[in-house]
């Protein structure tokens, strides 16, 4: 044996690469390699960051083909064995390589070896002082749009990272230093090894809210759970599910000084109010650190927060779906709020379900997991029916005088027969109800899950409809921006003055979006302060939080928005909810459409009457006798769930079967369909596929996006094991089929 062999060992490294394999490298034993360590390795002509999955004394790769590890990330302690098991499970179940799971789950700062040395370097943050908040609006010239963006960004967040400031204005740092000299801005140098905490800490409540009997029973069940215990907390809107979470976490943190808790929410815009509630409750606990993890954080902030969780300093981690893959060495409880929400399913790259991984992770660690919702997913409801989950019920609202809102259906066909006029899709009864709330000084919410001004721009003379040149979809009219925009690829153009086909100048918008409803309300309800919240009005960082703050402060009379306003928000002054254009989901090709519509309507209805004001929900529909609307009017989730599950059982649909989707993207539709047909033929050679049903290859509803044609092939089985075995054996054959740009497998698809 050579002396060189005594100083070297071998490591098997996971890389973010489509091949589901580990790559062998030589490693100097002096580097003390261990599973879970991050390493920099040569891969082709470049150096990339990988994760050590195994350390071994031998390698099957010939010595002349082995390369050496270039360096290790000493600043980051190795990821735990439990975390590696989680990544491996996700890779196996969702049919990806472990590197495609593990590496994207880490902050960008850890995936770039050049930045390892700066990983724990202090970072500069600028904070707007009260004097600046008062002086800046008048001190900036009206045409200084870049400076005003910088000032708005400062006002919207607790502290603005220097890197974010530079992205807003080329001379941002010099400007901020000048504002600092004026006493308008303060500079904070933040230790990257410590979690970034809010500058405002509310005092802990001296008196906690009195729990209802149902809340007490739910809290005690969670508190007393031993080992893995999956709970479905089924609570009507406003029933105090958050208070149950807070009590359970407080009991756990008090009992175990090292315990960590993970709380998942479906959307970024829900994190500020959750963070405020958690900070208010735990503000007096010196050893408690609360951090957030989501894609809206600046890179440095996300890296610091992730590192605080990884080292165990963060006691409560609040985040969106990506947080389920965070490293938490002392994880002791997991909470998934609004567990039914489709946002928990990743739709790009690794198409995982954060809710399902949360349950698996809780089982792996032997800890409780709480799934909370007013409208649980049918999959979770079925688990309760099978006795696998324990149901905890909150059947009434927590505030003593707060009842569930009454639901009234406005029959649009009846309104039309009676000759009653409407204003841009707003019926007479809805407008009258909005005016009544305005006179009372109460707030109203108008829900329309369609952004933009109008979904189509058309010519009555020749039938032309504005379409995207890159996608098989119509473009959406955005009137305030005077633009036509594709919501699939981002293509944008100016609104034409006349029809490009026949020259007719009388082109008109078809349908309604939130922008058009906002405009209509301004004229239909004079004097009302109308605010729109959707993806277009909240593009800038911190803008959503600022707009919601205006609503909570009572500065808005009518709030118009999409699903962003439908769930989780505790609007204390809202007494009326109006729902527009819900009928389209009743006739969707997707078998989950009715479940999603019911959940959406139940959630948005729950925004009314939460603080004791009598709540009312008006739903405009042309199908007032539909069973879904009848269940909604009765707040009968259980009846709806049981009847829908019976339909799914008869039709052999999930959760009674398990599905996977093979998607192909090609330069032509024929290429994509041919690939899928050949893929279906390859299943004949796989023994496990005998228990799998294969459907015909079909184009997607939006078949072309960015000049790429898309098609799909659905496979399903009554046996999850048979489906998984088939998918594993299928992939080598799929890699031999040529002719498409990309293909991917999605397990448990939500959109079919």
| Residues 365-395: b if buried by 16+ CB within 10 A, e if exposed | bebbbbbbbbbbbbbbbbbbeeeebbbbebe
At residue 462's C-alpha, the angle toward residues 459 and 465, to 5°, is 45
Cβ 648 vs Cβ 656: under 8 Å: yes
At residue 34's C-alpha, the angle toward residues 96 and 109, to 5°, is 65
**Interatomic CA distance for residues 155 and 385, integer angstroms:** 49
**Interatomic CA distance for residues 724 and 747, integer angstroms:** 9
Grouping H, G, I as helix, E, B as strand and the rest as coil, residue 403 is: coil
Beta strands (DSSP E) in 70-173 are 71-72, 123-128, 160-161
Other Cβ atoms less than 10 A from the Cβ of 356: the count is 21
Cβ 384 vs Cβ 232: under 8 Å: yes
**Interatomic CA distance for residues 700 and 702, integer angstroms:** 5
Other Cβ atoms less than 10 A from the Cβ of 690: the count is 11
Q: Which of 353, 389, 383, 384 is nearest to 368 (CA)?
A: 389
Exposed / middle / buried, residue 633 (Cβ in 10 Å: 0-12, 13-18, 19+): middle
459 is annotated as contributing to ligand binding: yes
Dihedral through CA 381, CA 385, CA 387, CA 388, nearest 10? -30
Q: Which of 586, 590, 585, 588 is nearest to 752 (CA)?
A: 590
| Residue 391 token pair | 């149901």
Q: Taking the alpha carbons of 511, 513, 515, 516 in that order, is the dihedral positive or negative?
A: positive
C-alpha Rg value of the chain to the nearest Å: 28
**Interatomic CA distance for residues 590 and 598, integer angstroms:** 14
Q: Which of 307, 255, 312, 254 is nearest to 281 (CA)?
A: 254
| Residue 710 token pair | 């898309």
634 is annotated as contributing to ligand binding: no
Measured CA to CA in angstroms, residue 658 lies from 382, 702, 722, 723 at distances of: 14, 25, 10, 7
Measured CA to CA in angstroms, residue 572 lies from 237, 264, 445, 554 at distances of: 13, 23, 12, 9
Give how far the C-alpha of residue 567 lies from the chain's centroid of Cα atoms, to the nearest Å: 13
| Residue 418 token pair | 């009676």
Dihedral through CA 350, CA 353, CA 356, CA 357, nearest 10? 40
27 is annotated as contributing to ligand binding: no
73 is annotated as contributing to ligand binding: no
**Interatomic CA distance for residues 521 and 531, integer angstroms:** 10
Tokens 């969702």: give the residue. Answer: 94
Tokens 């360096």: give the residue. Answer: 71
Helix (H) or strand (E) holding 629: helix 627-633
**Interatomic CA distance for residues 165 and 151, integer angstroms:** 10
**Interatomic CA distance for residues 599 and 8, integer angstroms:** 58
Q: Which of 458, 342, 375, 411 is nearest to 629 (CA)?
A: 411
Binding-site residues for Zn(2+), in ranges, read 459, 462, 468, 471, 486, 489, 499, 502
Binding-site residues, in ranges, read 459, 462, 468, 471, 486, 489, 499, 502
């Amino acid at each position: 044996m050579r002396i060189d062999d005594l100083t070297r060992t071998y490591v098997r490294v996971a890389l973010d690469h489509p091949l589901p394999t580990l790559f062998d490298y030589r490693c100097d034993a002096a580097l003390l390699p261990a599973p879970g360590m991050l390493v920099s390795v040569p891969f082709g002509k470049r150096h990339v960051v990988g994760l050590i999955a195994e350390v071994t004394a031998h390698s099957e790769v010939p010595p002349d083909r082995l390369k050496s590890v270039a360096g290790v990330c000493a600043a980051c302690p190795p990821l735990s064995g439990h975390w590696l098991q989680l990544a491996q499970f996700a890779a196996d179940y969702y049919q990806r390589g472990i590197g495609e799971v593990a590496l994207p789950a880490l902050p960008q700062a850890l995936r770039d070896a050049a930045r390892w040395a700066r990983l724990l370097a202090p970072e500069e943050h600028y904070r707007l002082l009260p004097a600046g908040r008062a002086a800046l609006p008048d001190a900036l010239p009206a045409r200084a749009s870049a400076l005003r963006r910088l000032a708005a960004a400062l006002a919207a967040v607790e502290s603005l990272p220097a890197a974010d400031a530079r992205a807003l204005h080329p001379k941002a740092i010099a400007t901020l230093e000048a504002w600092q000299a004026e006493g308008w801005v303060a500079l904070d140098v933040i230790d990257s090894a410590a979690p970034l905490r809010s500058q405002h800490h509310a005092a802990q409540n001296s008196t906690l809210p009195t729990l209802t009997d149902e809340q007490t029973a739910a809290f005690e069940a969670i508190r007393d759970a031993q080992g893995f215990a999956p709970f479905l907390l089924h609570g009507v809107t406003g029933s105090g599910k958050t208070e149950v979470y807070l009590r359970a976490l407080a009991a756990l943190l008090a009992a175990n000084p090292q315990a960590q808790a993970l709380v998942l929410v479906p959307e970024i815009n829900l994190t500020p109010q959750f963070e405020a509630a958690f900070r208010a409750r735990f503000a007096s606990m010196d050893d408690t650190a609360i951090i957030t993890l989501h894609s809206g954080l600046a890179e440095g902030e996300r890296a610091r927060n992730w590192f605080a969780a990884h080292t165990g300093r963060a006691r409560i981690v609040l985040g969106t779906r990506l947080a389920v893959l965070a490293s938490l060495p002392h994880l002791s409880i997991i909470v998934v709020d609004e567990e039914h929400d489709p946002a928990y399913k990743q739709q790009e790259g690794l198409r995982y379900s954060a809710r399902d991984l949360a349950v698996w992770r809780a089982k792996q660690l032997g800890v409780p997991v709480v799934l909370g919702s007013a409208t649980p997913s049918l999959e979770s409801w079925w688990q309760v029916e099978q006795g696998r989950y324990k149901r905890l019920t909150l059947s009434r609202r927590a505030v003593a005088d707060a009842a569930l809102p009454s639901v009234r259906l406005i029959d649009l066909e009846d309104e039309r027969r009676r000759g009653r006029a409407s204003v841009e899709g707003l019926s007479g009864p809805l407008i009258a109800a909005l005016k009544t709330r305005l006179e009372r000084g109460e707030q109203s919410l108008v829900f329309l899950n369609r952004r933009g001004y109008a979904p189509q721009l058309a010519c009555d003379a020749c039938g032309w409809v504005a379409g995207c040149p890159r996608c098989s979809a119509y473009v959406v009219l955005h009137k305030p921006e005077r633009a036509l925009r594709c919501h699939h690829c981002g293509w944008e153009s100016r609104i034409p003055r006349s029809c490009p086909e026949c020259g007719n100048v009388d082109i008109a918008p078809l349908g309604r979006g939130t922008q058009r409803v906002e405009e209509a309300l301004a004229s239909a309800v004079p004097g009302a302060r109308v605010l729109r919240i959707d993806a277009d009005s909240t593009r800038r960082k911190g803008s959503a939080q600022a707009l919601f703050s205006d609503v909570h402060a009572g500065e808005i009379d009518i709030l118009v928005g999409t699903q962003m306003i439908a769930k989780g928000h505790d609007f204390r002054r809202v007494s009326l909810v109006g729902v527009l254009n819900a009928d389209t989901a009743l006739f969707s090709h997707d078998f989950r459409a009715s479940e999603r519509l019911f959940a959406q309507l139940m959630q948005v209805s729950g925004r009314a009457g939460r603080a004791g004001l009598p709540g009312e929900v008006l739903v405009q529909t042309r199908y007032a006798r539909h069973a879904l609307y009848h269940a909604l009017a009765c707040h009968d989730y259980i009846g709806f769930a049981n009847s829908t599950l019976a339909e799914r059982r008869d039709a052999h649909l999930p959760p009674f079967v398990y599905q996977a989707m093979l998607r192909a993207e090609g330069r032509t539709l024929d290429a994509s369909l041919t690939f899928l047909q050949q893929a279906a033929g390859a299943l004949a050679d796989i023994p496990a596929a005998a228990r799998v049903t294969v459907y015909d290859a079909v184009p997607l509803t939006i078949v072309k996006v960015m000049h790429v044609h898309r098609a799909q092939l659905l496979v399903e089985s009554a046996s999850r094991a048979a489906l998984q075995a088939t998918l594993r054996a299928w992939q080598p054959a799929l890699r031999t089929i040529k002719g498409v740009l990309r293909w991917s497998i999605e397990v448990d698809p939500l959109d079919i």
